[in-house]
Each structure stands twice: as structure tokens, then as C-alpha cells.
Amino acid sequence: MKSASRIMLPALATLLLSVAFSNTSLATRNLARADEASRPAAPPLPEPAPRPPLHPRIDALIEARLNGVTVAPQSDDAEFLRRVYLDLAGRIPTAMEAREFLADSTPDKRERLVDGLLSGPEYPRRMRELFHAMLLERRGDNDEWTVFLRNAFEQNLPWHLIARAILKPDENDEQLRGAAFFMTQRLVSEGAMAPVDVPGLTRDVARLLAGIDLECAQCHNHLTISHYLQRDFQGLHMIFENVKTRNDLKFPAVSEGVLSEKKEFKSVFEQVAMKTGPLIPGGEEVSIPTFEKGQEYLVEPDRKARMPGVPKFSPLEELSERLASPQNDLFTRNIVNRLWWVMMGRGLVEPLDLHHADNPPSHPELLDLLASEFAASSFNIRWLVRELTLSKTYQRTTRLLYTSAAEQPHESYAIGLEKRLSPEQLFWSLITATGDLERHRQRLAKEGKASLNSEAVVEQTPDLKSLKRAMIDTFANPPKEPEVDFAPSVKGALFLMHEDQILRLLKPQTGNLIERATSQSDDDTVRELCLCVLTREPADDELATLTDYLKQNADRRDEAIANLTWALLTSTEFVVNH
């Protein structure tokens, strides 16, 4: 939701001035870099030195703006457990994991759980799914892109290096070259009547990596945001106008042409011609080096091999170095705001892609702190996620127990905020709850495929693989629509009500939830279902009502249990991260 009502501050220009600028000669720098490009990829970076804890400072800054309002209490163990599993492992906990945690009485159990999840195998998958949806916005998928994201999050690659891999893809780096898919998938033609949407790529780079939406600035200075200038758009756009998808390689890759002149553009309002060179969001204009005719290339194009050539001057290189830089405030603020939104349910700046002076953050000091600390941590995503998770702000309950906290506006963070489950979170949670993930893991183990990770289990189980695809199709937003708001759909409801792939999960099968439930007493059945699906014990009156339901339908117990399970799996409590 974009709102013009929160428009109030000074300019992008102040940001522009604060950015450091390298004086090194462009030509020589690029020559040196091209040599490096042929070398094999560098080994993964060591974890940066530990930083002092950030979470107490986060809480202090949040509380400083509460003006004495009593905040909501911390979540209870069950609520916390479910939330932290969803956020860090991308699924709800199993009954066994829940029992173990709830029974643990040591005081540091939450911190230990967080550390366990962050170093576990599911955290990189969860981050990959999250960043895939955020960066590609459901435009499609690609194996090389998956490899890139997997490597990035398994190695906890610093964010600026992830961004640089996207902005200046290196076809020689097998681990990260798939990052080019970010660009190539946006440079696909959608038919004769729809030319390749290069402006869309420009806009997405600015939105997703710098937090600014330059859409309206394509043709004129933004009408209501005085700091989004047409020059900002055109200067960035000329970099991508110079980019082509390579068709001589079997994996996603891009090439650049020779860029030797500034770009001329006109406002549709004033029709006065202006010029700009490549312009980095949050940075300055890049000067264009001149080369003698015939001297523009490091590697000459080879038409026969369809090899496009490597120009000495690479605007993408300039962009990747100067945008994905600790000195670039837009870059740093964008990512910490997005990670904050992921964990807390609301960005410090909202909408996420409208950072500008007239749309200030709800907690400016906090955004500054997160940005500077994140940069100082060498853009360590896992570290920042850990700090956010350990904060009291993150761990507050979403229950409306105290009216004073509940009446505070969302941006106060006086109370926990609910979050939308991604289609992937919904899928993993569903098959965790119904026991199908575990059931198939054990089946495969019996077939000699021991200790498979969850993804491999799904990959090797046709039913689950097809269910995953169907659920992403059903619950994802249409392509190009960011998955930000909770948007349940009739399509989704009908899918859960009637789709055979869902209804099948409600039949007793060796090792699944329904089978387990049918063999227990009514009381235990209800407890088991509640724990497996909602990660909590039933309340007393709930227990009474539900056991009564089972009792009355004792002659059709399997059906009653299936009905109960369906209702739990489709309940708001299940489909929301609270």
C-alpha cells in the first residue's frame, strides 16, 4: 500500500553528498579487474569477528518512542516456538520438537534454540525461499539461480557480495553465476506487442536493492516525491540499456556493450533536453572514460562464437561496487529495513520501496543503528537475523491482552504483529503437521536413502513434489506483485476445501498424523492434533468441546478426526504467523 500521507522530509540529495567516491582511474581499475575475473572463485569468507549484542539497543530505541505505554508481554514458549521456527526454519515445529522445548526449563533455552536453528540445515533453505520470492517476485525459477541462492545462504555470504553477484554477474564463478537470472529473467521478451521491459529492470534494481521506486520518474520528475528525479531513473536506466542476455552460454549470463556517451532525455512536461552519465542510486554520476576507436574492448567480440566481447568500461561493475557498498546509505538501509520487515511484520520504512526524505522511518535512530551495525558486521545477514530474533520486540506476544498496547499504532511495535505465511512456509508447515514429511523420510530411509534433508525427501516423493508446486501456484501472488500483505483468496480456500492433493493428507497412512490420532483416546487425540498443527495445548473448554464431538461421532471416528484436522489446518491460527 502506497500512501502519500506520510510525505514530509528533505532530500535524497543529502544522501548523495555523503557518499564516498573513489578517485582511482576507471580504465586501469577495470583492466586489473578483468585479469582477476579469469581466476577461480574465492573461497567462502570467514565469519566476521563477533560484534557486541545489538538486541538490547534495539529494544531500548523501540521503548524510547513508546512514551510510557505498557508494552505487550513476551510471547509464551509455544507462541515463540512456532514463530521462530517459521521465521528461521520456514516451517512449524514437529510435535517432538515442541514437547522437547516446552519441557526444557533452562533460562537460556530461547537463545539456544535460535542458535540451533540458525546453524541448522533449514535456515539456508528458508532464506533462499524468502529471497527468491523477494528478488524474483514469482517471475519464474531456474536451477542456476537456486544454486546461487543456496551457496549464498549456506555460506552466509555477506549481503553486499550477494548484491554484487546480481549486479555484475561473473560467468566464471560457478557458485554464483546463476545470479544473472535476476537480470535475464527480466529481459525476456513477452511477445511481439510487449518489448523487453528494460525500464522494469531498472525500476526493480532501484526498488529491491536501494529501496526507491522510480517508476514515475521514468518520464518526468516524480510528481509527489520531490526527491525522485527523472535523472535518477535515466542515469540508472542507461546502465541496463547497455546490457544484453548472452545466448552463447547455457546458463543465465549477461554482457555489456560499449558505453561512450551520456544519455539525453526530456521530461514529458517541459520537453527540455538534459544529459546524464551512469548514475548510481545513492551515489554520484560515473564519468565515462574515452578510448580511441578500436581500443574499447578488453576482449573483442567474436561473432562466430556469438561471444559478445568485454568492453574495458563496465557500468555494471561501477554500479555493483558503488551501490553494494558500506558507504551507500540507500543500499544499507534498504536491506536492514527489509530484514526488519521479515522478522517484525512491518518495515521501519513503509512501503518498503519508498525510502525518501518525506517518508521518514518510524524509528530513524533505529534504522541508522541497524544500518551502521550491519555494515560494520560486514553485511552479516545471519548475525542481524539473530539479533532481531533475540530482541524483546520480536518476542512480544501478538495477543491482545492489554488494551493500551493493542491500541498503539502498528509502527509502535508495542505488541507483536502478525505476518503472512509465504506459500513455501505454508507447504512445509502443512506436511510437517500432517506428518507426511517425516513419514516419507522414513520410507526413503527404509529404501536405503538414509538421512535425507527435507528438500531431498520432497524431491524424491512425487506426491509431495506436486503438492509443493500446486501450493506455490495457488498461494503465491501473481508475477511481479510483491508478497507483502496478507491476501487470502477464494482460490486458496477452494484449494484447501476440495483439492484432492489436500484431502488425501487426511486419510490414515502408516506414520501420518491421522493414523496416530485414530489409535489414541479422545483426549489424547485432541491434544495430539492441537500440538501437531497449532503447536499448543488445547484450552480446557476447547478440549471438552472437541472430545465431545469425537464421542458423538464415535461410529465414524476416522471421518471426525479428518474433519477436525482439516479445520485446524485451515484455521486462521494455522495460516498466519503470529
Partner 1 sequence: MRQSVCSAAEHGISRRRVLGTLAGTGAGLGLGALGGLVQPAVGEELKQKERQVVLLWLDGGMSQLESWDPKPNTRFGGPFRSIETLIPGVQISELMPNTAKLMDRLAIVRTMKTEDPNHSSGVPKILRGHPKNRGVVYPYFGSAVAKLMGPTSSGLPPYLWVKPGSGGFISKYAGFLGAKYGALALGDGQPPENMLPPETLSERNALERRDLQKLFNQRYAATHRREWNEANSYVYDVADKLMQHSKLFDESLLPDRDHERYGRHDFGRHTLLARNLVEAGVRFVQVTSYGWDSHGDNFNAHASRVPKVDQAFSALVSDLDDRGMLDNVLVVMMAEFGRTPRINGSVGRDHWPNAWSLAMAGCGIKAGQVVGKTLDDGTDVATEPYDIGHMFHTWYQALGVDSQKTEFMNGTQPLPIAHDEMEPVAELLA
Residues that bind partner 1 (CB under 8 A): 1-5, 7, 223-225, 398-401, 406, 418, 477-478, 481, 485-495, 497-500, 503, 539, 541-542, 545, 548-549, 552, 559-560, 562-564, 566-568, 570-573, 575-576, 578
* Paired sense of beta strands 576-577 and 419-420, if any: antiparallel
Phi, psi of 74 (to 5 degrees): -65, 150
For partner 1, the closer of residues 499 and 537 by Cβ is 499
Q: Alpha carbon 567 to chain centroid distance?
A: 29
Shortest distance, CB of residue 496 to partner 1, whole angstroms? 9
CA distance 529 to 516: 9
How far is the CA of 450 from the CAs of 29, 117, 444, 445, 515, in angstroms?
A: 50, 22, 7, 4, 23
SS3 278: coil
Q: How many helices (H) and strands (E) does the chain have?
A: 29, 8
Q: Which of 500, 507, 489 is nearest to 561 (CA)?
A: 507
Shortest distance, CB of residue 156 to partner 1, whole angstroms? 33
Grid cell at residue 37: 575475473
Looking at the DSSP bridge assignments, the partners of residue 74 are 396
For partner 1, the closer of residues 111 and 548 by Cβ is 548
Shortest distance, CB of residue 395 to partner 1, whole angstroms? 17
| Residue written as grid cell 484436522 | 565
For partner 1, the closer of residues 146 and 477 by Cβ is 477
For partner 1, the closer of residues 437 and 561 by Cβ is 561
Q: What burial letters (b/e) apply to 442-467, b meaning 16+ CB within 10 Å?
A: ebbeeeeeeebebeebbebbeebeeb
Looking at the DSSP bridge assignments, the partners of residue 244 are 255
For partner 1, the closer of residues 389 and 565 by Cβ is 565
For partner 1, the closer of residues 13 and 493 by Cβ is 493
SS3 536: coil
Grid cell at residue 192: 511481439
Looking at the DSSP bridge assignments, the partners of residue 264 are 275
Shortest distance, CB of residue 482 to partner 1, whole angstroms? 11
| Residue written as grid cell 492433493 | 501
Shortest distance, CB of residue 43 to partner 1, whole angstroms? 45
CA distance 78 to 394: 14
CA distance 149 to 178: 8
Shortest distance, CB of residue 227 to partner 1, whole angstroms? 13
Looking at the DSSP bridge assignments, the partners of residue 274 are 265
CA distance 145 to 132: 9
Shortest distance, CB of residue 342 to partner 1, whole angstroms? 18
For partner 1, the closer of residues 260 and 545 by Cβ is 545
Q: Alpha carbon 94 to chain centroid distance?
A: 24
Shortest distance, CB of residue 266 to partner 1, whole angstroms? 18
For partner 1, the closer of residues 306 and 507 by Cβ is 507
For partner 1, the closer of residues 6 and 132 by Cβ is 6
Phi, psi of 58 (to 5 degrees): -60, -50
Shortest distance, CB of residue 478 to partner 1, whole angstroms? 8
- Rg (the chain; Cα; Å): 26
CA distance 465 to 111: 33
| Residue written as grid cell 541448522 | 120
For partner 1, the closer of residues 164 and 420 by Cβ is 420
For partner 1, the closer of residues 260 and 571 by Cβ is 571
Shortest distance, CB of residue 553 to partner 1, whole angstroms? 8
Shortest distance, CB of residue 503 to partner 1, whole angstroms? 7
Shortest distance, CB of residue 402 to partner 1, whole angstroms? 12
* Paired sense of beta strands 263-266 and 576-577, if any: unpaired
Grid cell at residue 102: 516446552
For partner 1, the closer of residues 141 and 542 by Cβ is 542
